[in-house]
Amino acid sequence: MIARRELLLLAALAAAGPALAAPRPVVTILGDSITAGFGLPAAQAFPARLQEDLTRAGAQVLIRAAGVSGDTTAGGLARVDFSVQPDTTICLVALGGNDLLQGVDPKVTRANLEAIITRLTRRHIRVILAGLKPPPAIGRSYAREFTALYANLARTHHLTLYPDLLAGVGPGLRQRDGLHPNAQGAQVIATGLAPVITTALKGSKSKSWSIS
């Protein structure tokens, strides 16, 4: 027969079932001011909107924003080991905008991103790479090389690629600086990323997302 103490223990474990359930997978977004929600309340930044969209869709996931305004890929590389915590399942790397604004050599940007990817994969953290498309004012040669580095990295490391973090965020969806999304623009980013995160959580193979 089962002793009374064992019965009590089993009852306690059954009552605590939800608390003992496996923790939600964590998706960390390693980014710059767009991830940090520059100019917006935290609840209106795209990571918070992404969390809302995924929760509404029934996805059991925790979105953790690790954005620092002004961060370049070099800054992201310097802090990746402590900004992306050990419980992270997937890291969305959304860096490069400030490299673009500062005219950093695309080869340097690529090297920094590759080092970030390497560090994360060595920690068994899956990586999604978010690219950026330079504005028309940028020189064609520079723009072409900058745009290509994301696709090349994704191909080399077999990563899921989201080609343009700001896809669909036109002038009317940006703040007065013309760079950062407003609340509506942040929602557009979240809506675009939600299926990418959902697919990655299901363990689907890497792909490049075409955003209309």
Q: Which residues are catalytic?
A: 33, 177, 180
96 vs 164: CA distance, rounded Å: 11
Q: Which candidate, 34, 139, 47, places its Cα nearest to that of 95?
A: 34
Instruction: To the nearest 10°, report the CA torsion of 54, 161, 102, 108.
Output: 140
- The distance in angstroms from the start CA to the end CA of the chain is 65
**Single-letter amino acid code for the residue at 29:** I
**Single-letter amino acid code for the residue at 154:** A
Signed CA dihedral, 16, 86, 65, 143: sign only: negative
Determine the Cα angle at 159 with ends 109 and 155, to 5°.
Answer: 70
Under 8 Å between Cβ of 67 and 36: yes
